[in-house]
Each structure stands twice: as C-alpha cells, then as structure tokens.
Amino acid sequence: MISAAFFTACTRGNVSLSEDEQTYTLDNGIVSAVVAKASGDLVSLQYKGKEILATRMDAEGRPDLVLDPPGANPNGLNPGMTDHQYGFWSHDAMGPRGTGDAIATVTVNPTRNHRMRAEVSVKGYAKGRKMGTGPGSTQDGQFAADVEIRYAIEDGSAKVYTYCIFTHPDSYPASAIGEARFCAKLAPMFDWMSVDRSVDFHYPREHFAGDKYVYTAVQSVNPAFGWSSTTEQIGCFLLNPSMEYMSGGPTKVEFMGHRDTNEAAAPCILNYWRSSHYGGATVEVEQGEFWEKIIGPFVLYINDGGDHDALYADARAEAAREAEKWPYGWVDSPAYATREQRSSVSGQLRLDDPDGPDRLARLKVGLAAPDACWQRDAKHYQFWADGSENGDFTIPDVRPGRYTLYAFADGVLGEFVKKDIEIPAGTDFDLGSLVWKPRREGRPVFEIGIPNRNGSEFALGGDFRNPEVVLLYAQSFPKDVTYTVGESDFRFAWPYLHVPHRTDGEVKVLPFFGLKGEGRATPYKIRFQLPKTPAAGARATLRLAICGTAAQDLHVNVNGLRAGSVPLKQTRDGVITRHGSHGIWYETEFGFNAGKLHKGWNDLTLTLPAGSLNSGILYDYLRLELAE
C-alpha cells in the first residue's frame, strides 16, 4: 500500500516562476500573474490566455510600465505618480514619484515544493520618505512605513493571493494613513457589477453612474464581490477570507466596485482596509512607536462558464471555502499569526433587562483594541462572530493580545463592553457567563423604531440609495411629522432621516456632493399620553440612537416650550451626502424635569434647524424614559 506521504512527495504540480529584469511571472496553466519588481503592481493577470486587467501593452506585447509625466494623472490628485491601470496597492513599494529602490525576492520557489506553489515579494523601504499614491496623498507621499507586497499562486487554482505588510519602526517619524486599499482595474469586457445582493446589475461603459456612492455596501456581509462579462461569461471577484485586517468592524460601509470616471471608464474592484468614507477609520502611529500590520492575504478569483448569477453565486461559495482555510498555513512572515498561535474565544451573554427582548436577535460579538473606537479603527486587528439567540458565542482564530469585548444585538439599546481581556496564544479561552444589563434611566414611556444600528425599518429607509431621498421627504411629509404613540406606525410615519424641509426651488443633485439647496427648520412632533402627572422631582430622559450625523443641533420642545438641545457628535460622517443607511452609530440623550409633563396628551418636538439640504441626522431608535 502506498502511503499518503509518499504520494504527496511524488506529486508534481504545474506552477512555474520566471523573471526578467522588470517583472516576475507566476503561472499554473490556469492563471498567469505578472508582478512589477519596482512597485509590486500586478501588471497583468491572464486566465486561460485571456487578459483580465485593464493593462496597456507596449510595442512588444509586454505590460507598459512607464511612469506618467508630472501632472498627467487624469484625476489631478496625485500628479507624477505611477499610472495605475491594472492591479495595485495604494501604498506600493516604489514610493512617491517613482523614487526608491524596492527589493524583489522569491519567497516561495516552486522548484522546492514539487511545483505546487509560488510566491514573490516586493519590498520598499521608506528611508526618510513617505509611501503612498492613493487619494489624499501628495507628491511627497503619505505614510512613513516600509511596505512589502506579496503575490502567490497554487497548483490547479484560478486564484491569485495578495497581501501587504506595513512596518513602522520606532525610529520613523509620527505618521498617519489616508486612503488605503487594493484596486484591480479590469478589462473592458466586464460589464456586470456584483457588490451585494442589492447592487448587482448590468453596468456597461456607456452607463454613466452619476454618483458612485449609491453602490456602497457593508463589507462584512459581502466577502465576495466583483465583475462578470455577459459576452465572455467570465467573472473576476475579490474574496476576503477574513475581516480581521479590515477597519470599522461588522457595520462598516464601503466602496467595493464602480467604474473609473476618466476616459477609460475601467471597471474597478476595491478592497478598502482604511478609508474616510462614512466616518472613516484611522491609522495614526507615533514617533518611537513600532507598528506592524498585515493586510490579507485575500484573493483575486477568476471563474467562467455561466451567467452573472451563476458566477456570483460560485464566487460567494468560494469565499466561504477560503474562510474555512483561514488562517493560511503557507504564509511565512513574523507579522502573520499561525493557526497554532491563535485562540478560540467563547462565552455566553445573559441579558438582564426585564423591559427588553427575551432573545438576542442578530447578536454580534467582537474583540477589538483597548481604548480605540472599533467603528473607526484601522490600526489594529478586530475579531467578530455571530452569536446565538441565547447568547452563546465563539470567536475563532484570535491573535494573542489584550482586547476589549464588545457585543450588540437588534432590539437592545447600547452595547455590552468588557475591558482588559488578555488572550493567550494557542488556547480555547472560555470567558464563561457574562451578564449584560443594559442601562435604563426609568420606566419606558414610548419607543420609536428598533435599535439595530441603521434606519432601514423607518419610512423612506428603502430609498436611502436615491440621491434625491431628501427631496422625497418633503414630498412625502409636506406638513412634516406628527407621530402619535399607540396609533402611528414608524415604518410609515417616522422617516429614517431628519433633514431641512426643502424650500429652494433651484435644488441641484451633485454627484459625490449631495444636494445644493436650502431648507427650512423641520419639526418632528411626538404625541403621547401619560396616565397621571409625574411626581414632583421626577426626571424624564429622551434617549436617541443616531446612525448618521451631518448636523450641529437638534432642538427639543416639550409641550410648546423650548427645553434645550440634544448633544450630537461633531464628527460628520457624510452619510446623507453620500446616500447611506448608516454611518457612525452612537447613543445620546436629553434629560429634563418631568414637571414639564402632565396627565393626558403631551407633545415632544425635535426640530432640525434650517440650513443646507445635506445637513441632518439618521435615526436608529428613540425612547423616552421616566424616573419617579
């Protein structure tokens, strides 16, 4: 009988690796990937001999690697940068204006593993410079860090793996990352974009999108996204096997695909691990601080032989199979935690809230960096998992370190927080039973909506992608909002957004910039009954969960008298301008003397001041509580 070890040793694959002065070529007979040694760009990706990327060829039929002259970049943002026309990381190994001497090496040689796998590395050292040519960078670059980009292929697979290692030695100056992502610009044959189930449509070059922000989606629920060709029946998709290296946790909304706005109008696949969109995320490193983070590996996956529905379904299934392989055993880097170094973290959340739900619907549990807002963190790794309705959870593959545990669920206002959790390496770590007692400031008087971190259940919530949804508010609620507790249905009577009421007849819809126009102050009145007048000294608290902010003030009137203003976060997340259903979520409240209330009918009015039609807030949930 032949042993499995003997069979493996005798098996030979079809992976080859060749090079010339400028490039590496990784080939397995299915896909062929050409990597530029100077930058780490993926300058060609062929599938069964067909070019997948928007690669220009020179007179000799090779990828054109020529730099643009200063000022030639069509978007006008980064003059003199490499003309990225194919697959690239925004922080490449070349540095600004093509400077620096990247070191290109073979990290996995297929001649040493029976031609089963190949990997190459291109590493650029900052050497006192800043790296980065993405949006927001200048001719001097953006981020002081060393950048190592790797690409890998394996036998029998229509996939190319790529990952990037950022290293900021403690001798480097303080620095911050702006826009940071991998982008693949695809060949003209790709004309169907599949970002998520609701953004899945025919998108030929002739179709002018107008505003690409209508095509954003939640990253964590869309690990497979990309394009297909209705004429060639070929798909190209990006697969994220893990979200640990991405920013913003499970609620982050992001670009994942659109078309270039320049003359080429190339279809784009984007894997943003740090951006400024919808509140954005931050990477800020101090001088004297050593910081390192590995982004990926993730996958460029090519498939064929079906229509767009079949190709997209196959890509989603392949993403699930890649997730089962995570963490990859073939990655060899000190920055990458192996399976043996990682731990499984489990426990059970018990909800202690007599006035709350009896189950934890859509429970999310995660470990994030201490003292960082997980919604805006791109500097560290995050680990999230779905929990069961009875609170059981298991978070797999957690890197060792110190974390804060967070949890949130539909129907529960607020989030669970447990600090100072030290996760050792290579263990099954049981946190045991954890009691979640949501804060209450008194008995509930009324509630509007469902606390679920977005405004999808409210009126107009299904129209959030419509750039004119602010105008739809004025049409649908010409006399503004009067919501009667016990009679009104928030699905139809309470809009998800609170914006100035249009008065300007010359309103313009501007792609990327929302609406140009003004509106008057907009009152939302809530009518509710009390069975008796509150006792002397009683305190009322209006608690609000906000999931998008583009306003400074929200005024409160109680029974016709001005009572004050709701405190709002002053960090605007652009969610109204850029057509989202949620941005940065937070809870705020307004407390007042319950002596302003009385037996019978009462009115509580929230008024957004007059101003730009792009100003306003998005509601997640409202609740009035009374403590006597």
Nearest-angstrom CA–CA distance, 67 and 133: 13
Query: Which amino acid appears at position 297 of this protein?
Result: P
Fold of 13-325: Beta-galactosidase; Chain A, domain 5 (2.70.98)
Nearest-angstrom CA–CA distance, 565 and 555: 4
CB atoms within 10 A of CB 131: 27
Q: 544-564: b or e for each residue (b if 16 or more CB lie within 10 Å)?
A: bbbbbbbbeebbbbbeeeebe
pLDDT given at position 66: 53
Give percent helix, percent strand, percent coil of the chain, each to the nearest 5: 10, 45, 45
Nearest-angstrom CA–CA distance, 67 and 65: 7
Would you tell me which CATH number, out of the four given (1.10.3720.10, 3.30.70.890, 2.60.40.1120, 1.20.1630.10), belongs to the domain 339-436? 2.60.40.1120
Nearest-angstrom CA–CA distance, 376 and 363: 20
pLDDT given at position 82: 44
- Three-state DSSP at 199 gives strand
Instruction: Mention every residue, 6+ apart, whose C-beta is less than 8 A from residue 22.
Output: 36, 37, 38, 65
Sequence ranges of the domains in the chain: 13-325, 339-436, 443-627
Torsions phi, psi of 595, nearest 5? Answer: -65, -15
Q: Which helix (H) or strand (E) holds 4?
A: helix 4-10
Nearest-angstrom CA–CA distance, 531 and 328: 62
CATH entry 2.60.120.260 includes domain 443-627: yes
| Cα separations in angstroms, 552 against 566, 572, 607, 621 | 9, 9, 12, 19
Q: Check if the beta carbon of residue 429 is closer than 8 Å to that of residue 423.
A: yes
Residue with the larger pLDDT of the pair 264 and 408? 408
Band (pLDDT 50/70/90 cuts) for residue 136 is low
Q: 399-437: b or e for each residue (b if 16 or more CB lie within 10 Å)?
A: bbbebbbbbbbbbbbebbebeebebeeeeebebeebebe
pLDDT digits (tens, 9 = 90+) for 56-95: 777 666 777 654 433 333 333 333 334 568 999 999 998 6
Mean pLDDT, the chain, whole residue set: 92
Sign of the alpha-carbon torsion through 583, 584, 587, 588: negative
* Statement: residue 167 has pLDDT above 90: yes
- Mean pLDDT for 327-352 is 97
Nearest-angstrom CA–CA distance, 340 and 362: 30
Q: Check if the beta carbon of residue 192 is closer than 8 Å to that of residue 236.
A: no
Both tokens assigned to 427: 């263990």
Q: Which of 86, 84, 82 is nearest to 94 (CA)?
A: 82
* Statement: residue 137 has pLDDT above 90: no
Band (pLDDT 50/70/90 cuts) for residue 53 is very high
Nearest-angstrom CA–CA distance, 582 and 455: 7
Band (pLDDT 50/70/90 cuts) for residue 128 is confident
pLDDT given at position 265: 82
pLDDT digits (tens, 9 = 90+) for 216-237: 999 999 999 999 999 999 999 9
